[in-house]
């Protein structure tokens, strides 16, 4: 079954929220989800998800588990698992992720590289052929 956005970020209760009228400059590190609705300039690193709201303007390199872009990002994005550029999203930078989707209307100006997933090969099960009994 395909994963939906709700399987990743908790959009209703992020751990860190930068409001629409807030301007932040610096480095932001978090183990939890981050949602930016205002302006941010610097660097973002999150073990969980980063959500760039529709009215957000971000000038930063972003490294996170999953990244959802509905606003504007100028900088490189490395999403460990998934990157989604929504219909209002704009990214001007290079992106790297295991999975990526760009909705119609979303814009990516830069290069994209897909990471290979670490697939685990199933353990080989020995097969035994039975000899048919001769009558």
Q: What is the pLDDT of residues 13-68, one digit of tens each?
A: 677 888 889 999 999 999 989 999 999 999 999 999 999 999 999 999 999 999 99
Report if residue 5 sits inside a domain: no
**Domain contains 132:** no
Query: Taking the mean position of all CA atoms in its chain, how far away is CA 19?
Result: 21
CA distances from 6 to 2, 10, 80, 92, 130 (A): 11, 6, 17, 26, 49
How many domains is the chain partitioned into structurally?
A: 1
Spatial distance between the Cα atoms of 28 and 39, rounded to a whole number of angstroms: 13
**Domain membership flag for residue 100:** yes
Structural domain includes residue 23: yes
pTM (two decimals):
0.76
Q: Which domain holds residue 31?
A: 16-112
Tokens of 3: 């994963």
**Domain presence at residue 61:** yes
Nearest to 9 by CA among 67, 96, 85, 63: 67
């Amino acid at each position: 079954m395909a994963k939906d956005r709700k399987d990743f970020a908790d959009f209703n209760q992020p751990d860190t929220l930068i409001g629409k009228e807030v301007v932040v400059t610096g480095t932001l590190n978090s183990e939890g989800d981050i949602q930016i609705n205002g302006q941010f300039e610097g660097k973002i690193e999150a073990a969980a998800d980063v959500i760039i709201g529709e009215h957000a303007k971000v000038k930063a390199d972003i490294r996170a588990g999953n990244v959802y872009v509905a606003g504007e990002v100028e900088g490189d994005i490395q999403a460990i698992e998934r990157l989604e550029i929504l219909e209002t999203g704009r990214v001007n930078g290079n992106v790297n992720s295991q999975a990526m989707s760009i909705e119609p209307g979303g814009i990516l100006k830069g290069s994209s590289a897909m990471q290979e997933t670490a697939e685990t090969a199933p353990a080989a099960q020995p097969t035994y052929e039975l000899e048919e009994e001769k009558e």
